[in-house]
Amino acid sequence: MITRNIKIINKHGLHTRPATAFVTLASRFKSDIFLIYNGVRVNAKSILGLLVLAVEPGSTVTVEADGVDEAEAVESLDKLAQNKFNLE
Amino acid sequence: MKKIKGVKISPGVVSGPVFYFERVKISVPGHFIGDEDFDSEIERFNTAVQKSKDELTQVRDLVLDHLDEEHARIIDVQLLAIQDEDMIKAVRELMLREKKNVTWAYFEVMDNYEKLLLKTYSKFFKERTSDLKDIKKRVIHHLSPKKDILQPEILEPSIIIAEKVSPSDLIHIDHKLMLGIITRYGGVDSHAGILARAFRVPYISNIEVIDELASCKEIILDADNGTILLDFTDDIKASYKSRIRDFRRHRGKIISGKVANSTKDGTPYHIYINAGFVDEVKAMDPALIQGIGLFRTEFLCIERNSIPGEDEQFKAYRNVLKKMKGLPVVFRVFDFGRDKLLAMLDIELLQEDHLFDEWGGIGFLLDNPAILKAQLRALLRASVYGNTQIMLPLVMFDEEVILTKNMLEAIKMELRKAGIPFSDNIKLGAMIETSSVLDELDELAKHVDFFSIGTNDLALYLIGSGRALDLTKNYYHPKIFQAIDKIVKAGKKAGIPVDVCGEMASDPYALIGLTALGIRSISVSSSALTAVSDEVSKLDVKKCSELADTILSTDNALAIYSILKKFHQDNLE
């Protein structure tokens, strides 16, 4: 299992479109992936879970992946966040 | 007594109690299930999720092709949420643990997510509950054996008061219980407005004091004059009595006598009806009317928030044709303009803009041949039940007509092979409603059997963003009359009929102008039929024609309006 802290630098936080992009990407991996924010841990492949987290812009979230492709998963998700979810 | 002024959307006068309308709460069955039911309940759930997913995927494809990525992403989030693995797990657990039926369990799980969203500190996340509500509604709809669960509980016939109404609200409310509609937001050319006129429900919008009205016991809605009366005396009420009674008596009927088929001087004139719902057609008496000049097939999609399959379409078209008993019915193939898509999706435009550069029409359908093919097949199969005509919306190039004809021929071959009957005498027309096609009329005329002028969109294209929001003001624009003149002349040259199927024809002054330029066939909404029929029967075609040159040489709308109004006063009043 690996974890990594990721900073959400896009303008509106993990709102609909970034969250959609995040879940879509996370779902491509075999590993179990979780997102931890403000002490709450949700399945990163669940859009409803992510929305309910209501991650605000500028905050840091922890990504936790466990499985055969965990390293690749964390790397890709980090990159997605760095690229502001390819939206801006 | 208090008088409130608003904007008339649909005519009529009614009085009655009010019903404050909010989006319907979904009814959820509250029974428990046994262990033996678990698998079949889960199976039902999977089917409902799959159906919802298929519908949304189809809608997403349309939106992406037609609107933009931005709107498509609204649907992406719904698509993800509808098959969310955590949500599905939670539903299963709840069913196992508490023995609740699947609809109940699903409702509770989704409700819980909504509550969590509302607890967040951001307005943005709170607003996402609307997406959750949408998908919940969709899935529960597919879970319900009875499909009519979305009706609000109106207990007695009432005047509906609401912030706004959507087309699907209007479809789902029992019309017997809907005396009239009053909203804060809404426009004359909104789809809800078109529906209200189709259903002959008086409707006034732009009313700010919705809350005040909602607390009234009884009000009078005089949509003809754009007024609402409250706190009125018995005398006032009595003075409205005969108008209200007349309206009620005529509401069930489209027209009480025969629609005029000629003008005062005996010139033959066709007055057809615009329709969009099978139910609307049921109220029409084929012995009194001349046919349906515009059947807006895309309304079938708005009705169910997705595109019906070939068989479902076939049944709808067949029923319309059978009801019309041989009278012509002009089916316009799906016109998925941006506005209709939004109506179908029941969503708001992300940002208000008046750049209508991405209209749909036949071009869009040709880009999505599977949709067009299913529709044409359905129309061909239905064609043996009556006088079927097919009209293509928003034609830009003659190639579009040629491609459609090729497709029609290919389908006919298929049908012949399969031994399925169809009429070989289906007229094909093109709607003329863009400025660019005005330069291609001669070429286009070679490939079609008739032209139909869509004045609403034509005004949009010709006058553009400068167009007045009150559509009636655009009818008198010189560019509109010049364009119509050009189309009429092109039709004459090619020997094909030209008709007008926009709202313009139901304006008494504009009707004179149209007749002056040579129009002898129009199609109007059913609510305007009686009035238009009266106007036509009073027209003197020769006298009207004398106005043509004046209209065409006048270069401002106000002057044209004055000329037509004066003519009306002098000759028809």
Q: What would the pLDDT profile of B325-346 be if each residue is shown by its tens digit?
A: 999 999 999 987 666 665 555 5
Judged by DSSP in three states, B390 sits in strand
Structural domains of chain A, ranges and CATH numbers in brackets: 2-86 (3.30.1340.10)
pTM of the model: 0.68
Superfamily of the domain at B35-143: PtsI, HPr-binding domain (1.10.274.10)
Strand positions, DSSP E, B135-235: 158-162, 178-183, 203-205, 219-222, 227-230
Interface contact A3, partner B, CB < 8 A: no
Chain A closest-CA separation from residue B50 CA (Å): 17
B493-529 pLDDT, tens digit per residue, is 999 999 999 888 989 999 999 999 999 999 998 878 9
Which candidate in A51, A55, A86 is best for mutational testing of the B interface (most B CBs within 10 A)? A51
Q: Tell me the CATH architecture of domain B2-23+151-251.
A: 3-Layer(bba) Sandwich (3.50)
The dotted CATH code for B270-571 is 3.20.20.60
| Residue ranges matching CATH 1.10.274.10 in chain B | 35-143
**Facing A54 at nearest CB: one of B81, B86, B121:** B121
Return d(Cα B160, Cα B154) in angstroms, integer: 9
For chain B, residues classed under CATH 3.20.20.60 are 270-571
Residues of A in contact with B120 (CB under 8 A): 52, 54
Nearest by CB to residue B120, choosing from A23, A45, A54, is A54
For the stretch A17-38, pLDDT in tens is 899 999 999 999 999 999 999 9
The residues of A carrying an active-site annotation are 15
Question: Which residues, at least 6 apart from B249, have a Cβ–Cβ distance to it below 8 Å?
Answer: none
Burial class (CB in 10 A: 0-12, 13-18, 19+), B271: buried
pLDDT beyond 70 at B237: yes
Chain A CA closest to residue B85: A46
List residues of B whose CB lies inside 8 A of any A CB.
Answer: 73-74, 76-77, 80-81, 84-87, 113, 116-117, 120-122, 124-125, 128, 131-132
Beta bridge partners of B14: B221
- Residues B164-169: contacts with CB within 8 Å, 24+ apart? B164/B192, B165/B21, B165/B192, B166/B192, B166/B343, B166/B346, B167/B191, B167/B192, B167/B195, B167/B302, B167/B343, B167/B346, B168/B302, B168/B303, B168/B305, B168/B346, B169/B21, B169/B23
DSSP B451-517: EEE-HHHHHHHHHGGGS-SSGGGGGG-HHHHHHHHHHHHHHHHHT--EEE-SGGGGSHHHHHHHHHT
The residue among A48, A53, A55 with the most chain B CBs within 10 A of its CB, best to mutate, is: A48
Interchain CB contact of A48 with B (< 8 Å): yes
CATH 3.50.30.10 residue ranges for chain B:
2-23+151-251
The 10 Å CB-count burial string (b at 16+, else e) for B292-302 is bbbbbbbbbbb
How sure is the predictor about B141, in pLDDT bands with cuts at 50, 70 and 90?
A: confident
How far is residue B46 from each of residues B81, B93, B114, measured CA to CA in Å? 14, 15, 22
Chains A–B, number of C-beta pairs less than 8 Å apart: 58
| Complex ipTM | 0.92
- Nearest-by-Cβ selection for B117 from A46, A51, A56: A51
Are A4 and A79 in contact, with CB atoms under 8 Å apart? no
d(CA B533, CA B202): 20
